[in-house]
Amino acid sequence: MTDDTLPMSPADAASIDVLYVDDDEALLSLTSEFLERRDEPFAVDTTSSPREALAALRAGDYDAVVSDYQMPEMDGIELLEAIREDLGSDVPFVIFTGRGREEVAIEALNLGADRYLQKGGDPSSQYGVLAQAIEQEVEHFRTRAKLREREEHLRITLESIGDAVIATDDAGTVTRMNDVAERLTGWDRSGAIGRPAEEVFDIRDQESERSVESPVERVLREGQTVGLANGTLLVGRNGERRYIADSGAPIETEDGDIVGVVLVFRDVTERYRRRRRRERQREALLDVADDEDVVAGNLEAALGTITERVADVLDVERAAVWLLDDDRSRLRCESLYDAATGDHETRATLTAEEYPAYFAALERHRAIDAADAVADGRTAELADYARQHGIGAMLDATIRDGGEVVGVVCHEHVGDSREWTDDEVRFAAEVSDQVLKALKNHRRRRRERRFRRQKEFLDTVIDSLDDLLYAFGEDGEFLEWSERFEEVTGYGPGEIAECTPTDFFEGTDADRIAEAIQRIREDRDRVTVQADLVTADGEAIPYEFTGAPMETAGELVGIVGVGRDLSAARSAERRFRDLLDRSPAPALLIDESGAVSYCNDAAADLAGAERKADLLGRPAERLVAPPDRDRIAGGIERLLEGDETGDEPTAATLRALDGTECHVVGQSAPVDGIEGHAAVVVLQDITRRHALEAELSETKDRYQTLVENNHVGIYVLQDRELVYVNPRMAEIFGYEREEMIGRSPLEFTAEADHERVEQRLAAREAGESVQYVFQGVRKDGSPVYVEIQGSQIELDGAPAIIGTAIDVTERRERRRTLERRNEQLEAVSRITSHDLRTPIQVALGRLELARETVDDDYLAEVGAALERTEELVDDLSALAEEGTVDYDTEPVSLREVVESLPAPAPGVTVELAGAVTVSADRAALKRLLENLVKNAAEHGSTSPRSEPPGDVTEGGSADSRPPADGAAERGAIGDRPGSGCESEGVTVEIGPLPDDDGFYVADDGPGVPEEEREAVFQPGYSTSDDGSGFGLVSVEQIVRDHGWRIDVGESAAGGARFEISGVESA
């Protein structure tokens, strides 16, 4: 610790004791000297050791702490945490460091730092800012200390504010109450004040209605906050009963003496009643779900139980179940319960011809909640029926199977009209689901009597795979399925046997599956479709299903298929730019007329085009075979008109330019910000997918085909020898299949991994399911990294192991390359941001002190050189950081970013030609614009550095020159301090591109020669003596990391114009 500061100010009472911590001794001395030379009475102690700083804080009082960020012993953030947590001190803390990352500033402020200041620039100015920040924070700290004592007196009252408030004195007598308390208790203030709290606040037990102990008495006795039991009754002065939630807290003096109690309570009557209704409803649903007649499928008895229970819970006089017949034109009453007589009726009918509006309403609504059965248009056709039975309100919930209405459960309230609550409507819908369950169980019983199926679908090898395997007959009944199918769906064998394929899907997914099945039947060809599989517990899992026909002697006998889980694939985000320019998948951009406006190379190859231009301008539907054109054209038209979102995959036959055909699945979506309301279409070639074509009796052969063509290596190991490998397994290790059979897996393992593989084999033989990665050896001796997953099975009566193998060599190499690059970038960032910047700051500070005593032109040249060096360090640091920052995009206003830019260089005017909000990382976007403005200043401004800075306007210009890109005259956004340079400079204009596709930055400087425009983004390129050659490299890095595109052209004023496109509007 050093104490070589200047003498303190005589005004000791107002002195500010500062502890400054920095690992650079030169900066310690410089900062201390600058602060103590000010008129303000600063006393500065300095140290280069954060640990010494902590010891000093323990030993004495300081008014403020100023600390550098990067220090070898501990950084500024760690020092801040030690002061706040270990010392428990809230002394003002200022981070004073070189240019750092925005996230460091945010972390410091979140941890309790009072200010975050950056070193750099004019020393007098920066130390003036530092001194002002210290003075302000010390003043705030001293003011807050005086206010804490007052705030403590108000804390209890402020924390207890609620709906209704009653306050008492220490004798439990009411002293005040608010309007809500008057309304809930039935007492007015004049009558309540002065009375005992238990008389005004009359609370009782909800079950016995006996008075309970007043919370006021408990608070006065126990001296702490208390609450009421759930369901406590408040009896008002007029006898009205309400359920309330309540709390009571003591009112204390600063000495801790209790001088009264404050009660805060609110009316929870409706919530309590709603909860009681839901409890009864849940109990009823559980009882119905477990009812033996419902479970067993005894339909008549089950419907009797359901109608009786629902009539009781909903308090209606009549409840009935009606089912649609096969042609969906007639509703037949299966059970109508009359609570007044206790009788059940059946066989009444309603026809769609007689009641078309009612039938239509059932199709449109999940439930019809008609408060007035006669006046409601959905039930008005039933007015005669309603009047005959005195029915005032109806609640009819449709029974839906796979989205299709199969019946309705009717709840009929006899008497006046009745408003149905949300929970009652929801309960009615849940009851209809139980009716569907009983109906399905009834159908299952009938099918069980018809079918006697005792055949194993797949052996244990098939059941070990993660994919779902299944087969169903021509009539849609499941014949065989893998155990994995049961595990994923959550249904047992008996339940699956009673289902059809569409039962496992909902909404449009069920329609898409039905369409795919129909196409297989008609075309006798394989079909692939993606849909969400809905499990027994309601979870929706994305799957890709490939089905193929099963034929015997040319006759279709069923369909066999495989399902692959797509959860991992769907979680990956794909940017629009990747889909078009980088994705290997064929992709098309369609303009508003439905014609192809752009395609990537993969799409051109798929369509047989030698050049991408051969597809441009062609109607998109002309790329498919004639049978599919009308369907595809209609889908494109609906998509462009906004009637469809394009979420569903569409299958079609694509006809290439040379006449050849292939099968594709297309995914489309509307794209905003592209002229003509265009859409993007991504295609997948499914021609080569293999169908399961073997007959049901040859399931083993079908499995063999599936395994043989799998893109994942599959093997079977018995007695530590390979007894089977599929072609992909052999390909991974570079052998023929026959060469691997009969050999130990250790022969294909790198020697260093032998022991680990041995351990995994032993674990699998012990029954464990094992997954790991090991280094293998190919036939040619080259290494290969393989991910293995296996489990134990029984094969030919003996234990064996089946597993899968995936080549992950390329994935490991990519990860290692990325890690090495990030380490290099971090090293560059550390050097430029700390090791180089600190000496420059010391030199600038010493130069400023020298200028106070010596006026020499050489000093001006030294200052300019140091400033130029600092700018070069900043550019190198920013460029290094661009490669390591993980951007966090958010909606960002271009106007706000432009207004936050630093004051432009002398002679430079910045104009905003329009506003737009984009999705970007705010800090990165600011650096991009700052570099482009700086580039324009370096290459176009003619004013010297010594002149005042220019202006930032919206459309207007600081001089008589025309706007950079023809913008109209507009009002100023705000002038930077020191504006008004007289010499001719450069005007920089920032504005949105047409259709909000991005934004541009244009200037009226000399521009960029056309032959040099491709070189401006190369490191070191600059036509200015003052340019670092790294600013535009940083710009291009930010653009590329956001997935945007940047182009250089000529502005309307003849200067440079940078267009950043492909930017998502927010």
β-bridge partners, 684: 665
Residue 419: inside a domain? yes
Residue 582: inside a domain? yes
Non-local (6+) Cβ contacts of 930 within 8 A are 901, 902
Higher pLDDT, 861 or 663: 663
Mean pLDDT to the nearest integer, 20-47: 85
Q: Which two tokens stand for residue 466?
A: 């993660």
Residue 862's pLDDT band, with cuts at 50, 70 and 90, is: confident
Residues 194 and 134 in one domain: no
Residue 485: which CATH number?
A: 3.30.450.20
Residue 700 is predicted with a pLDDT of 56
Residue 700: inside a domain? no
Q: Which two tokens stand for residue 843?
A: 């030199």
* 691: pLDDT strictly greater than 50: no
252: Cα separation from own chain's centroid: 47
Residues 1010 and 925 in one domain: yes
Give dist(CA 452, CA 615) in Å, integer.
57
Mean pLDDT to the nearest integer, 687-711: 57
Nearest in space to 913 (alpha carbons), one of 985, 1007, 988: 988
| Domain-terminating residue out of 136, 152, 168 | 152
Residue 620 is predicted with a pLDDT of 87
Residue 89: which CATH number?
A: 3.40.50.2300
SS (HEC) of 536-578: CCCCEEEEEEEEEEEEECCEEEEEEEEEEECHHHHHCCCCHHH
Give dist(CA 316, CA 438) in Å, integer.
22
Strands 468-473 and 404-414: unpaired
Three-state SS at 958: coil
Residue 1025 is predicted with a pLDDT of 58
Residue 878: inside a domain? no
Residue 960: inside a domain? yes
Nearest in space to 309 (alpha carbons), one of 289, 323, 324, 329: 289
β-bridge partners, 1002: 989, 1057
Residue 955 is predicted with a pLDDT of 46
Residue 833 is predicted with a pLDDT of 57
Among 352-366, 691-705, 827-841, the minimum mean pLDDT is found in: 691-705
| Domain-terminating residue out of 807, 835, 869 | 807
β-bridge partners, 397: 367, 409
Residue 873's pLDDT band, with cuts at 50, 70 and 90, is: low
Give dist(CA 472, CA 451) in Å, integer.
14
Residue 1012 is predicted with a pLDDT of 87
560: Cα separation from own chain's centroid: 37
Strands 64-67 and 93-97: parallel
Mean pLDDT to the nearest integer, 513-528: 92
Residue 863: inside a domain? no
State which of 638-647, 661-670, 725-734 shows the largest mean pLDDT: 725-734
Residue 588 is predicted with a pLDDT of 86
Residue 333's pLDDT band, with cuts at 50, 70 and 90, is: very high
Residues 166 and 294 in one domain: no
Nearest in space to 1031 (alpha carbons), one of 1046, 1039, 1019: 1019
Residues 444 and 505 in one domain: no
Q: Supply the DSSP symbol for 82.
A: I
Mean pLDDT to the nearest integer, 220-242: 88
| Domain-terminating residue out of 414, 448, 482 | 448
Residues 46 and 134 in one domain: yes
Residue 455 is predicted with a pLDDT of 47
* 829: pLDDT strictly greater than 70: no
Decide: residue 740, CB within 10 A, 0-12 exposed, 13-18 middle, 19+ buried: buried
* 921: pLDDT strictly greater than 60: yes
Higher pLDDT, 702 or 152: 702
Total domains present in the chain = 7
Residues 167 and 188 in one domain: yes
CA atoms within 13 A on the CB side of 143: 6
pLDDT digit string, tens, across residues 748-797: 999 999 999 999 888 888 878 778 899 999 999 999 999 998 888 888 88
Residue 463 is predicted with a pLDDT of 61
Mean pLDDT to the nearest integer, 321-334: 93
Residue 1027 is predicted with a pLDDT of 56
Residue 730's pLDDT band, with cuts at 50, 70 and 90, is: very high
Strands 232-235 and 318-324: unpaired
Residues 564 and 577 in one domain: no
Nearest in space to 437 (alpha carbons), one of 303, 283, 336: 303
| Residue 791: how many other CB atoms lie within 10 Å | 15
Residue 875's pLDDT band, with cuts at 50, 70 and 90, is: low
Residue 838 is predicted with a pLDDT of 67
How far does the chain reach from its first CA to its final CA, in angstroms? Answer: 53
Task: Please give the helix or strand (H or E) that residue 449 lies within, else none.
Answer: helix 422-450
* 549: pLDDT strictly greater than 80: yes
| In the chain, % of residues over pLDDT 70 | 81
pLDDT digit string, tens, across residues 5-31: 333 333 344 688 999 999 888 888 888
Residues 442 and 498 in one domain: no
Residue 863 is predicted with a pLDDT of 73
Residue 317 is predicted with a pLDDT of 95
Residue 954's pLDDT band, with cuts at 50, 70 and 90, is: very low
Among 364-373, 448-457, 555-564, the minimum mean pLDDT is found in: 448-457
Residues 130 and 173 in one domain: no
* 529: pLDDT strictly greater than 50: yes
Residue 1047: which CATH number?
A: 3.30.565.10
Strands 115-118 and 93-97: parallel
Residue 418 is predicted with a pLDDT of 94
Residue 209 is predicted with a pLDDT of 85
Residue 374: which CATH number?
A: 3.30.450.40
| Chain mean pLDDT for the chain | 82
Give dist(CA 582, CA 1046) in Å, integer.
16
Q: Please report where in the chains the tokens 């945007």 appear, as a residue.
A: 1044
Residue 208 is predicted with a pLDDT of 84
Quote the pTM value.
Answer: 0.32
- Domain with 732 in it: 710-807
Residue 896 is predicted with a pLDDT of 92
Contact at 8 Å (CB) between 316 and 411? yes
Residue 840 is predicted with a pLDDT of 72
Q: How far is CA 959 from CA 830, 886, 904, 1057, in A?
A: 42, 41, 15, 20
Residue 832 is predicted with a pLDDT of 59
pLDDT digit string, tens, across residues 158-189: 345 657 899 999 999 999 888 889 999 999 98
Residue 771 is predicted with a pLDDT of 85
Three-state SS at 1044: coil
Residue 337: inside a domain? yes
Residue 818 is predicted with a pLDDT of 60
Given phi > 0 = left and psi -120 to 50 = alpha, else beta, which region is 172?
left
| Crossing angle of the two packed helices 809-830 and 857-882, in degrees rounded to 10 | 160
Residue 529: inside a domain? yes
Mean pLDDT to the nearest integer, 970-994: 60
Residue 573 is predicted with a pLDDT of 35
Mean pLDDT to the nearest integer, 72-97: 90
Residues 302 and 411 in one domain: yes
Among 363-377, 706-720, 872-886, 1035-1049, the minimum mean pLDDT is found in: 872-886
Residues 899 and 1027 in one domain: yes
Residues 982 and 895 in one domain: yes
* 197: pLDDT strictly greater than 90: yes
